[in-house]
Amino acid sequence: MLISLEEARKIIDNANIRNANIRSESIYNAVGRVAGKDIVAKIDIPEFNISAMDGFAFNVSDYKKNGKLKIAGKIFPSSSEIPQLKEGEAYYVATGSPIPKGANAIARIEATKISGDNQIVFSEDVFEGKDIKFAGEDIKKGDIIVRKGEVINHYHLGVLTMQKIREVDIVDINSCVLASGDELCPYDSPEDNKIPDSISPILISILRKFGVANYFGIVSDHKESLKTKLESMVENCDYIVLIGGSSVGEKDYSKRVIAELGDLLFEGVSVNIIKRGGVGVINGKPVINLPGQVVSALTVFHEHGLHMISRMIGQEVRKFGKYILSEDVQVEHKMDSIYLFDTIGILAKPLRWGTGLYSELIKAKGFGVLKRGRIYHKGEEIELQHLIL
């Protein structure tokens, strides 16, 4: 029986599932992985006021009072002694240098005229705070650098290194993926006269962001074979994905086996493209049953599968955004339907509709649920869920 998408979301929200494991990892090995806890700044960046330019550090009111200043010395990023500025003085500072105590502005070297008696005047406007990076201006102690549930990326490494953070907590879900179908062969072992399993490698690549992803290969369209495989997966995995066998055909056993071994939470939703995607729980472990067509499989995974992972982590990992339609869309289906979209800025361009269009999935940045019988007009706002890229 198909239920509404809203009801399916509530069921997942209330499902009794195990929490994801969290483990510590070197920051340099954590790139591309999902943070298991908020990563919080331990120090201000910069730690103290520094110069944003090569130039001269001085006190504005002192300069305006005297009309010129005397060069008292030089300060570099490596300088350990920070002098106290005296009246009538300025210090040469290199970019990134700490500024002398009492200084409140920097004049750029190219806007400075130096006389023979080591006196300087400036040819640019001067004001308090000019060309100074203040302590904590970039990042303040206590700021969240990476939020729980977000992917740690290359650019976080610089901040984490500056923070002297060398290890972080990452999500460590042991996922397993199995495809069913007599017509299929494993993607890593192609066979003549068989179709390579093209959906599993996509899912495995995504699931590696959340931990280890194991490929259990292909199982034939026999109930007992599937049951034996699923029992092994439940024993060895935290999170299980079954591809295929999700419909109501003679050889579609996946949901029946899930129900025998645990609880089938729902067998599908009344939304085209994702209607045959089911969700179950066995021994507290989520089991996601995906259709065998690539667009259907990936949108079910993003809708239900990532929802379950969000529950395991305790933080929403799905990303949503508001976009403006770039052209009219008429929904002629008998039920609400999933549409893929490419996005450019805030504009959303609808792609061809279909359950197995690899070419459109490649172009897509997200997908949305559009209501049956409606015409959505160019310029109308819609909500999309982002695809993990």
pLDDT of residue 29: 97
Give the residue with greater pLDDT, 1 vs 273.
273
Query: Stretch 36-42: mean pLDDT, rounded?
Result: 98
Q: Which homologous superfamily is 5-21+173-313 in? A: MoaB/Mog-like domain (3.40.980.10)
Nearest alpha carbon to residue 240 among 299, 178, 172, 187: 178
Mean pLDDT of the residues in the chain: 95
Task: Say whether pLDDT at 346 is over 90.
Answer: yes
Residues 281/288, Cβ–Cβ less than 8 Å: no
Query: Stretch 17-34: mean pLDDT, rounded?
Result: 98
Q: Which helix (H) or strand (E) holds 26?
A: strand 22-26
Domain regions of the chain by residue span: 5-21+173-313, 35-42+140-169, 50-133, 320-386
Q: Which residue has the tokens 């949108």?
A: 299
pLDDT of residue 71: 96
Task: Say whether pLDDT at 252 is over 80.
Answer: no
CATH architecture observed for domain 320-386: Beta Barrel (2.40)
Query: Stretch 134-160: mean pLDDT, rounded?
Result: 97
Task: Say whether pLDDT at 245 is over 90.
Answer: no
pTM: 0.90
Task: Say whether pLDDT at 15 is over 80.
Answer: yes
Task: Say whether pLDDT at 248 is over 80.
Answer: no
pLDDT of residue 116: 83
Residue 244: strand, helix, or coil: coil
The strand ranges marked E within 261-335 are 263-266, 271-272, 278-282, 285-290, 320-325, 329-330
CATH topology of domain 50-133: Molybdopterin biosynthesis moeA protein; domain 3 (2.170.190)
Task: Say whether pLDDT at 85 is over 90.
Answer: yes
